[in-house]
Amino acid sequence: MSNFIYARSAVGSKYAVEVQVENCLRYAEQMGLKIDGIFQDKGFSGLDNNRPCYSKLLEVAEAGDTIIVSSAGLIHRNMLTLKSLEAKYNLIFLDRAGN
């Protein structure tokens, strides 16, 4: 199984992608997880399915792989899509993991 990090920010967002990645890397280190890839989209809505790095992540990740994200809304804002992702991948949301 592989472990990935996904980070996203919308246009004008103050929640910097770099900070998200740092937090996810810190969590992975604490949990002893080797990160196999980091995917970052800057300036995209969470409702947009045509994000370049989001699309690449879904091409690379296989069922059961772990994807670490700072918050659920950063990977997708559509609840049906989010539930579908949760059914396929081991999604870890740092805001739910107590970090």
Residue 57 pLDDT: 98
Please give the pLDDT value at position 32.
97
pLDDT of residue 98: 60
Domain for residue 98, yes or no?
no
99 lies in a domain? no
Give me the number of domains the chain comprises. Answer: 1
Q: What's the CA gap between 98 and 85, in Å, rounded?
A: 21
What is the pLDDT at residue 28? 98
CA 64, 57, 20, 22 torsion: positive or negative? positive
Per-residue confidence (pLDDT) for residue 31, from 0 to 100: 96
64 SS3 class: coil
41: left (phi over 0), alpha (psi -120 to 50) or beta: beta
- Segments of the chain scoring below 50 in pLDDT: none
Mean pLDDT for the chain? 92
Residue 33: what pLDDT?
A: 97
CATH number of the CATH domain containing 88: 3.40.50.1390
Question: What's the confidence (pLDDT) of residue 69?
Answer: 97
Q: Are 76 and 51 in contact (CB under 8 A)?
A: no
Task: Find the domain containing 61 and state its range.
Answer: 3-93
pLDDT attached to residue 14 = 64
